[in-house]
């Protein structure tokens, strides 16, 4: 009796597994064609049938990534990274990419570090981790410089304010103000971001394990 039930159960799961594989293949084909919205729908349909399907989760994350829906990509990559297997490293690497694009540097660092633990020879993960660390170091230096400039401005204004209170002409006081504009922090950040975009090395894999050739860097 139990054997009969087991056979019936296995026969019932065969069409389901075939449907999941078909959805993953469909998602991979659409992904290669850069139809990321349709690819995401196909991968999500596979995940509805088999929530633990690593290839489908990785493909869904990659599709959402190129749609610039980084929050959705992060959730999908985290789901894929939970599964043991050959795609776990790629899931962790891509998770770091999605965090990086969302300006979540602390989370990106952790994801890249976990990817490196999976493969200490992953040059791209090492490079991107170094980039995030350099970004944070530069940002810290920029913040310190802004504080120093602000303190200097405050000290330079104090003598002028005292002279003005003694009866000096306010127009003369304005002429004594520094004429050199302080660095625009937002402009500096934009320049830094542009530099990072040029140096950033994405390696986003779809669910079928392929790599976008236009994103690969020659070493």
Is 210 a domain residue?
Answer: no
Tens of pLDDT along 156-204?
Answer: 665 555 555 555 554 444 444 444 444 445 544 544 454 444 455 666 6
| Domain assignment of residue 109, yes or no | yes
Sign of the alpha-carbon dihedral angle for 217, 72, 95, 108: positive
In a domain, 192, yes or no: no
Is residue 167 one of the residues assigned to a domain?
A: no
| Residues of the domain holding 55 | 2-128
**Angle, helices 54-66/70-81, rounded to nearest 10 degrees:** 160
The CATH number of residue 60's host domain is 1.25.40.10
Q: Is 100 a domain residue?
A: yes
Residue 205, beta-bridge partner list: 211
Residues contacting residue 29 through CB under 8 Å, at least 6 positions apart: none
pLDDT tens figures, 119-152: 999 999 999 999 999 888 888 888 887 777 777 7
Domain count, the chain: 1
Distance CA 89, CA 84 (A): 9
pLDDT tens digits along 28-85: 999 999 999 999 999 999 999 999 899 999 999 999 999 999 999 999 999 999 988 8
Could you tell me if residue 134 is inside a domain? no
């Amino acid at each position: 009796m139990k054997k009969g039930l087991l056979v019936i159960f296995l026969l019932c799961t065969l069409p389901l597994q075939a449907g999941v594989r078909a959805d993953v293949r469909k998602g991979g084909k659409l992904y290669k064609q850069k139809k990321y919205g349709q690819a995401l729908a196909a991968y999500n349909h596979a995940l509805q049938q088999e929530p633990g399907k690593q290839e489908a989760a990785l493909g869904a994350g990659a599709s959402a990534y190129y749609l610039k829906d980084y929050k959705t990509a992060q959730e999908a990559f985290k789901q894929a990274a939970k599964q043991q297997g050959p795609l776990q490293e790629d899931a962790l690497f891509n998770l770091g990419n999605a965090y990086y694009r969302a300006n979540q540097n602390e989370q990106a660092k952790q994801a890249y570090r976990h990817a490196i633990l999976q493969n200490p020879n992953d040059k791209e993960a090492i490079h991107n981790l170094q980039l995030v660390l350099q970004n944070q170091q530069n940002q810290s230096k920029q913040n310190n410089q802004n504080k120093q400039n602000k303190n200097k401005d405050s000290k330079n204004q104090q003598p002028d304010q005292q002279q003005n209170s003694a009866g000096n002409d306010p127009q003369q006081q304005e002429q004594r103000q520094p004429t050199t504009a302080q660095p625009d922090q937002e402009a500096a950040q934009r320049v830094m971001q542009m530099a990072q975009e040029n140096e950033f090395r994405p390696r986003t894999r779809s669910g079928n394990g392929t790599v976008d050739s236009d994103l690969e860097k020659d070493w």
